[in-house]
Structure 1
Amino acid sequence: MGAAIAIAVVAAVASSPRSELVFRDGDSMVTTLVVHSLAIGQPQDWAMSSVLFLPEIAALWLLSLLGLGVDGTLALAGAVNVLALYGALRVAAGSAARARAPISGALLALAAFGLLAASEWSPSRDALELASLLVTTTYYSATVVAVVVAVGLARRALDRAGASRGTRQWAVASVGLGLVAAASVLTNPLFAAWATVPLSIVLAVVGVRRRRAWWLAGALVAGSVAGFVARLPLAHLIANTGAGYVDPTQWAASLEYYGALLAERWAAPWGAASLLAVTLLWAWSLVATVLLARRAKVGAAVVAACGWVLPLVVTLGAIALGTHAARYLQPTVFAPLLGLVVLPSLLPARIPAATASAATLALVVALGLGIPPLIAASTAPDRDLDCVVQWAEGSGRVGGGQFWTVRLPKTHLSDPRGLVQLDHQLRGYAWLVNRDDFAVGGVSFLVTDAQSPAFELPAGVTMTDAATIDCGRYTIHDFGDRTLPIGPLRS
């Protein structure tokens, strides 16, 4: 059933304007570019953001071995991401021996996630449409899964507390939580803001009565510190540490920015309904925390508490730090799903079972309806893109273009070095790209589109000196035997 939901979710996103982020967005191409660079044996000298995308790259590389092409592989990766979220929710739902209907709880939460993702239609990466970002390989899918896994590991350790007098199980659980934190911070420091801080707060409250909860909080913090230390040898890969995105003096502007995004989302189709649904889930998580705490179900109460504490801490933190990026607020959407994970624990036993039976039939139908549009979306022809790719490869030469223009054609080349990422002054734009690309020294043609600022060419050279090849939304400017030198790198 988890696979059926995953396919239905990706089909819904891929069939909407939101597919722009999955198949064509410049940022979303970075993981595919890394996989292609590795496949051709290119020296690896990447200029990455503060996020290294290590799990996403590894998963995409494995999926690329199936030979589905760029779009087919990205679509499959999206389904794998959603299925991984189900696995994480299943961990958070607890073991069958100590939790009621954990599979039903995990499926209920995943189905709710699917409905939220399907309601998001904007092609903008800056829209407050956060559930569908999980379908991409770039917008922190591994971190989303890791946060839910961390909550689940804490829950399972607390569930076992009453069944074990020794410390062995606690030690194992603490080590596991620490390893998840270390690996997650290594690839994305946001894990510390999304999980380490808020989950530690929840565990600290539990620690007032159950002191062993401090073991878990300590392991979470220690693992996060280890992750930051492990990033030091990889500093040459990080072109931007993210420090520039933080400016507490801009908190008012940040509040205004996120408020505007909220208003836009409210006015969007299905936007108001999705925001109300998330608000209700947030409120239910708070209610469930109280009910479970009164019943002394500490592990489940921690899961429910994370459903409202994570969004609260992350949202207040994002505003206080003066950030301006919708993707930082993803916990406001996926964390409240944890309130549904624990719902079976508060219902009569027969209700979750009946719900699971009904969901099975619905998901079989969803699977049958989802596969055809997913295949259609991942195999849809793009003649303009094909024109650029075929001409560039047929020329046998190296060309260039600006970030938002050249990323997609570059990704679809058999050798991505055939197109170099430049700025409007022909300087090498070392951002989410392999710096080895710039070793060529110069380019002999430029690719532009409607969003390309005018190039500033070397003295004595103008765009009129180039022959133009019309490729629909793209234009190729071919300077023939003349080489335009690549300027100093910038990021």
Structure 2
Amino acid sequence: MTRVWVRELAGWLGALALALIVTGQVAASARSELLFRDGDSLIVALFAQSALSGEPSHWAMSSVLFLPETAVFAGLDLILPVDVNGLLAASAVVNILAFYGALRMAAGRRRRVTAPVSWALIGTAALGVLAMTETSSSRDALELASLLLTTTYYSATVIAVVLAVGLIRRFVERRKRGAGPLLALAFVAALSTLSNPLFAVWATVPLTIVLAGLARRSATRSRMLPALAVLIAATALGLIGRMPFSAWIANTGAGYAQPALWVESVGYYAALLGDRVTTPLGIIGTLLSLGLLAFAAVRSMRVHEPAERVVALAAWVIPVLVLLGAIALGTHAARYLQPLAFAPVLALVAAPRALAIPRPRPIIATVAVLLLAGSALSVPRLVSAAHAPDADLTCVTDWVSSSGRTGAGQFWTVRLPKLHLDDRTQLVQVDHRLNGYAWLVNRTDFDVGEVSFLIEDAQTVEWQLPLDIAPDAIVDCGRYRILDFGSTPLPLGPQHS
């Protein structure tokens, strides 16, 4: 028993080292824009800090409610004495740790001939290598593995999909009857669907096909059908549970489906792939992804145990169906294709056979030393990236705080300064006509009715103000400009999302 406990603890420590190494590398690249500064990436931080402040809340969310992500971020905020960038960095590390935990579940119980801890670490390392090949600052790049490090781009859903596969495996491979894995599966599926309906697309639909296909054999039917029934019922329950949150859901996501644009969708994703393979790291990442997908297909034909087949089939069925579905629905967003990065990793833990390695202790010791050294070197890099000076941002937040007034800015411009203010209500999110833009923001911000300054940068659409007046002064803050209308406040227009 002690040896099992030591082995599992070593796995978590190894995963922590990998998490620090991967996060440090990604944060030190241009991809740090998505971790710390991108307008989309800040919703969870804004939402969590609003909830912790106790201020009135009437949020306008997308189809995603970010419930698990917000709970994690708020928990870190309560226990860690760091600023918001430090919390975003810590969240990235936690996300990779959680992915390892889900992958460890999918690797199954340890038996004499298996090494699930080692293979779960190898799978985590494989996803980490993919993430480290991704260096673009664009949220629309076909760089999918590193999105797991953000708080916004469906990290909880990624982890939930892998965890659902793992829980189904645990139920199928149980020798004794018990409802523990199914109860856990019901909780994960219901909560994940409640928070993000994309879980139904990434997990419920593909896994329904996998389980239904395996249930055709009478020998496995008694295990596949209960798991299938629980998965479908819990997903339906999650969708029903979204009803009380309807006032917060500004967009159900139905409008994103445009099947008539499937040809354009093919061209869009093909262009993203073309951009991805224009760099050596992009080529390496693409080849690794294709290699994992091919390995998953081969593995699913070679394993024979039902539990192993569930995982091996999921490793390629999920990404293939998601890709085909994204094209069929005419989507134009790389983030929907994340299963292409994380799902094939499941093939590494489908049949985690122990390898016969001569003199394994020196190899294990060498790997441990490398992980320890890599994580030790990565911590300063991560801290440096999280606390990189931003004189332009500081100029804006200092001016706004000292003004004691309320101003406004457009979505891509205002969200970063808003997050870093002590009083976030001093900045209101508007469109170029000064109408309230109720998207991923607390609607109570608009109660102020008028603003006395505007913030703009290169991403700002040219203003069309309700009053034909010039600002009293223009404050230069590097990449930002503050247009001060202190003598003539500007009225806010009606809200829209």
Report the TM range for the smaller structure's normalisation.
Answer: over 0.9
Please list the CA deviations of residues 199-244 of structure 1 after superposition, one character each: whole Å capped at 9, or x if unmatched: 1111112212211211101110110000000001101110011111
Give yes or no for the alignment of 1:153 onto 2:167.
yes
The amino acid across from 2:47 in the alignment is V
The amino acid across from 1:316 in the alignment is L
| TM-score normalised by L of structure 1 | 0.95
Please list the CA deviations of residues 290-332 of structure 1 after superposition, one character each: whole Å capped at 9, or x if unmatched: 2112xxx221221111111111110001101111110000000
The amino acid across from 2:482 in the alignment is I
Q: Distance in 1 between matches of 2:68 and 2:126?
A: 25
| TM-score normalised by L of structure 2 | 0.94
* Residues 349 and 269 of structure 1: CA distance in aligned 2, closer, same or farther (over 3 Å): closer
**Structure 1: gaps (5+ residues):** none
Q: Would you say the 8 A contact 1:173–1:216 is kept in 2?
A: no
Match of 2:34 in 1: 21
1:78-157 equivalence runs, <5 A: 78-97=92-111, 100-157=114-171
Q: Distance in 2 between matches of 1:222 and 1:277?
A: 36
Which of 205, 213, 229 is 1:218 aligned to?
229
How many Å apart are 1:342 and its aligned residue?
3.1
* Residues 276 and 237 of structure 1: CA distance in aligned 2, closer, same or farther (over 3 Å): same
Q: Would you say the 8 A contact 2:115–2:354 is kept in 1?
A: no
Give yes or no for the alignment of 1:76 onto 2:90.
yes
- SS of the aligned residue for 1:267 comes to coil
Match of 1:386 in 2: 394
Q: Distance in 1 between matches of 2:460 and 2:181?
A: 52
Give yes or no for the alignment of 1:375 onto 2:383.
yes
- SS of the aligned residue for 1:315 comes to helix
Q: Distance in 1 between matches of 2:361 and 2:165?
A: 24
Q: Would you say the 8 A contact 1:109–1:341 is kept in 2?
A: yes
Which of 52, 63, 87 is 1:39 aligned to?
52
Which of 11, 15, 23 is 1:2 aligned to?
15
Please list the CA deviations of residues 24-76 of structure 1 after superposition, one character each: whole Å capped at 9, or x if unmatched: 00011111111221233211100000000001011101111223101111000
* Residues 340 and 359 of structure 1: CA distance in aligned 2, closer, same or farther (over 3 Å): farther
Q: Would you say the 8 A contact 2:303–2:351 is kept in 1?
A: no
1:305-344 equivalence runs, <5 A: 305-342=313-350, 344=352
- SS of the aligned residue for 2:157 comes to helix
Identity of aligned residues (%): 52
* Residues 403 and 112 of structure 1: CA distance in aligned 2, closer, same or farther (over 3 Å): same
Match of 2:24 in 1: 11
How many Å apart are 1:98 and its aligned residue?
7.5
* Residues 385 and 85 of structure 1: CA distance in aligned 2, closer, same or farther (over 3 Å): same
**Structure 2: gaps (5+ residues):** 1-13
How many Å apart are 1:349 and its aligned residue?
7.1
1:205-354 equivalence runs, <5 A: 205-209=213-217, 210-212=220-222, 213-293=224-304, 297-342=305-350, 344-345=352-353, 347-348=355-356
Q: Would you say the 8 A contact 2:106–2:349 is kept in 1?
A: yes
Count matched residues: 480
How many Å apart are 1:451 and its aligned residue?
1.5
The amino acid across from 1:88 in the alignment is A
The amino acid across from 2:472 in the alignment is A
* Residues 234 and 349 of structure 1: CA distance in aligned 2, closer, same or farther (over 3 Å): farther
- SS of the aligned residue for 1:270 comes to helix
How many Å apart are 1:172 and its aligned residue?
3.0
Give yes or no for the alignment of 1:481 onto 2:495.
no
Q: Distance in 2 between matches of 1:308 and 1:349?
A: 29
* Residues 177 and 146 of structure 1: CA distance in aligned 2, closer, same or farther (over 3 Å): same
Q: Distance in 2 between matches of 1:352 and 1:185?
A: 43
* Residues 391 and 383 of structure 1: CA distance in aligned 2, closer, same or farther (over 3 Å): same
Please list the CA deviations of residues 419-444 of structure 1 after superposition, one character each: whole Å capped at 9, or x if unmatched: 00010000000000000000000100
- SS of the aligned residue for 1:414 comes to coil
* Residues 147 and 350 of structure 1: CA distance in aligned 2, closer, same or farther (over 3 Å): farther
